[in-house]
């Protein structure tokens, strides 16, 4: 019996790590620009398709694709910010939500048109290798996804703490007029934030491709989970998002065991979400910049 | 040549005009003060010079070079630095990080360590509080940090918007002493102050702004003795 729980705990942590990378991108974009990117999950989906087709068509390993995709998706995010998102920065939330939600639908439709609506998955010869921890078994591909995600979250954190550009990003998340006063180019910071956010979520998608299905509709679930995590961790708070993601991963995975039906596992997450909104609306770890 | 020359400046928020065209000249190494009632356009003037608000009509020049077409970032690089009303520090970042963020452009960055030393020399208090989050500082310390952050950009013209607002009288005196010292280091200072008496006593030149226009101007000391100023702003 206890092995079952250990198994659930470890599985939850592994997927929670991937959620962290998705959520960190969302919270970075929110922190700097005050925009919730409801098309976030669609970039995860495009990351997955990039890994899928690179493997199927050219035999490129997903982990190699991940390295190549980092600058590519950063550039995509940069370009989307500079064209589509730029006009709505600082506008009403309703307009921003309509835009990013519209972008989400557009990207899903585009994916259906380009890749068909079929669910597909990669067959890799190392996909079944597992790691034994006490009574539990974890697939190596999941361990790798966890390690890649945590590594990138840490790298992003160090970038924000140590470099001038990172500090400038935090500065404009905190204080717009102060940023203008010290000569920070806000437009450039927005492009960097969106580029980094999109690169993070796309890499999360690529890291999952060895063990997760690929389909045009895979995105919204991740957007929603990331949104829950971002609220849990405190809007704009990056370490909070990482901790929130691990909590959500474990609650979801253990929830599948303790709930009367495994299909109710998401319920546990949303109950937690509502409890936090009721009793600690600033998030478990406080808001921006904390 | 003037360090800052404003000609026929029109600016405002959205489509609401605040400044209706005025001229202002401040010589190098002078302290200038802009005084006037709330809503007269004092803060708007500073924001327009810093590039945070657009110049609708007119010209702004720094040491003879037009700057009204530059972005806020380019103006900071050119040496026009604003210390905004309400300090606008980055509250969850440390004092040191706040100061470092003042020196982002290449010229300031190259001199960062040296300028930081000078700022700590002017404000020993900031050195003691170096690792503390700016949001936890007292009001006076926050103002010191904001001025220090401005100095980190290596300004030629430092604009202080209400530097004494909300500070205890003894701290106000310290801040004004520091303004004098900054001028001695070769920086031109333009400030907006609600503490009219102090500001006029300190300044070489002052402008009284009313409804977006300069109502009258003169040397600070003269203005202190001007009946109109005394009646309207000093309550005498």
Banded model confidence at residue A83, pLDDT cuts 50, 70, 90: very high
Mean pLDDT for A5-19 is 95
b/e for A49-82, b at 16 or more Cβ within 10 A?
bbbbbbbeeeeeebbebbeebbeebbebbbebbe
Inform me whether the C-beta atom of residue A166 falls under 8 Å from chain B C-beta atoms: no
For an interface test with A, which of B75, B88, B91, B153 has the most A Cβ atoms less than 10 Å from its Cβ?
B88
Does pLDDT of A290 surpass 60?
A: no
Q: How confident is the model at residue A288 (pLDDT cuts 50, 70, 90)?
A: low
Q: Is A163 on the interface with B (CB under 8 A)?
A: no
Domains detected in chain A: 2-103+127-279 (1.10.3470)
Residue A157 distance to chain B (closest CA, Å) = 14
Q: Is the pLDDT of residue A159 over 50?
A: yes
pLDDT above 60: residue A243: yes
The mean pLDDT of A111-138, rounded to a whole number, is 92
- The label of the residue with tokens 């010079």 reads B49
pTM given for the model:
0.92
- The pLDDT-based confidence of A195 (bands split at 50, 70, 90) is very high
Q: Measured between CB atoms, does B145 come within 8 Å of chain A? A: no
- List, as ranges, residues 182-201 from A with C-beta within 8 Å of B: 182-185
pLDDT tens for each residue of B26-39: 999 999 999 988 88
Convert the pLDDT of each residue in B187-204 to its tens digit: 999 999 988 888 999 999
Quickly tell me which residue has 């801040």 as its tokens.
B175
A161 and B CB contact within 8 Å: no
B149/A290 touch (CB, cutoff 8 Å), yes or no: no
Q: What is the mean pLDDT of residues B67-95?
A: 96
Is the CB of B101 less than 8 angstroms away from the CB of A167? yes
CA distance A217 to A82: 26
**Who's near B136: CB < 8 A, 6+ residues apart?**
none
- State how far residue B126 is from chain A, nearest Cα, in angstroms: 18
- Looking at the complex, report in whole angstroms how far the Cα of residue A87 sits from the nearest Cα belonging to chain B: 16
Q: Is the pLDDT of residue A192 over 70?
A: yes
Largest Cα–Cα separation, chain A = 60
Categorize the per-residue pLDDT at B180 as very low, low, confident or very high, splitting at 50, 70 and 90: very high
Which chain B residues are closer than 8 Å to A289 by Cβ?
Answer: 90-93
User: Mean pLDDT score of chain B, rounded to an integer?
Assistant: 93
- Interchain CB contact of A90 with B (< 8 Å): no
Domains of chain B with bracketed CATH: 1-79+188-236 (3.40.50.300)
């Amino acid at each position: 019996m206890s092995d079952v729980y250990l198994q659930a705990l470890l599985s939850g942590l592994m997927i929670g790590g991937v959620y962290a990378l998705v959520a960190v991108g969302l919270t970075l974009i929110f922190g700097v620009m005050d925009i919730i990117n409801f098309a976030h999950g669609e970039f995860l989906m495009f990351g997955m398709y990039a890994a899928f087709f690179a493997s199927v068509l050219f035999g490129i390993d997903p982990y190699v694709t991940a390295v190549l995709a980092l600058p590519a998706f950063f550039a995509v995010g940069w370009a989307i910010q500079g064209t589509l998102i730029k006009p709505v920065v600082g506008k009403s939330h309703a307009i921003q939500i309509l835009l990013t939600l519209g972008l989400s639908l557009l990207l899903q439709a585009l994916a259906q048109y380009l890749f068909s609506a079929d669910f597909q998955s990669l067959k890799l010869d190392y996909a079944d290798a597992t790691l034994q921890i006490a009574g539990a078994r974890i697939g190596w591909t999941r361990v790798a996804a966890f390690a890649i995600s945590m590594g990138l979250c840490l790298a992003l954190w160090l970038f924000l703490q140590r470099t001038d550009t990172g500090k400038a990003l935090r500065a404009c998340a905190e204080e717009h007029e102060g940023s203008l006063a010290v000569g920070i180019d806000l437009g450039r910071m927005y492009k960097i934030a969106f580029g980094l956010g999109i690169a993070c979520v796309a890499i999360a998608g690529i890291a999952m491709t060895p063990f997760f299905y690929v389909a045009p509709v895979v995105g919204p679930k991740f957007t929603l989970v990331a949104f829950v995590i971002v609220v849990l961790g405190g809007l704009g708070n990056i370490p909070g998002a990482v901790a929130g993601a691990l909590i959500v991963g474990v609650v979801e995975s253990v929830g599948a065991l303790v709930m009367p039906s495994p299909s109710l596992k998401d319920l546990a997450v949303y109950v937690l979400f509502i409890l936090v909104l009721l009793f600690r609306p600033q998030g478990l770890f406080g808001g921006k910049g904390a | 040549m003037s360090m800052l020359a404003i000609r026929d400046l029109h600016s405002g928020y959205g489509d609401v005009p605040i400044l209706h065209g005025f001229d202002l000249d401040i010589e190098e190494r002078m302290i200038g003060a802009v005084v006037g009632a709330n809503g007269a356009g004092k803060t708007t003037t500073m924001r327009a010079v810093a590039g945070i608000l657009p110049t609708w009509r007119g010209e702004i020049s720094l040491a003879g070079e037009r700057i009204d077409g530059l972005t806020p970032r380019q103006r900071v690089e050119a040496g026009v630095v604003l210390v905004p009303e309400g300090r606008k520090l980055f509250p969850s970042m440390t004092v040191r990080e706040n100061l470092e963020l003042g020196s982002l452009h290449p010229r300031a960055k190259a001199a960062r360590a040296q300028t930081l030393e000078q700022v700590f020399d002017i404000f020993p208090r900031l050195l003691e509080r170096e690792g503390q989050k700016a949001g936890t500082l007292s009001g006076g310390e926050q103002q010191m940090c904001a001025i220090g952050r401005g100095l980190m950009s290596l300004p030629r013209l430092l604009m202080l918007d209400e530097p004494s607002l909300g500070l205890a009288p003894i701290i106000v005196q310290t801040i004004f002493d520091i303004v004098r010292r900054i001028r001695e280091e070769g920086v031109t200072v333009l400030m907006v102050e609600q503490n009219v008496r102090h500001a006029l006593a300190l300044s070489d030149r002052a402008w009284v702004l009313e409804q977006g226009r300069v109502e009258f101007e003169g040397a600070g000391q003269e203005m202190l003795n001007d009946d109109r100023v005394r009646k309207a702003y000093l309550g005498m």
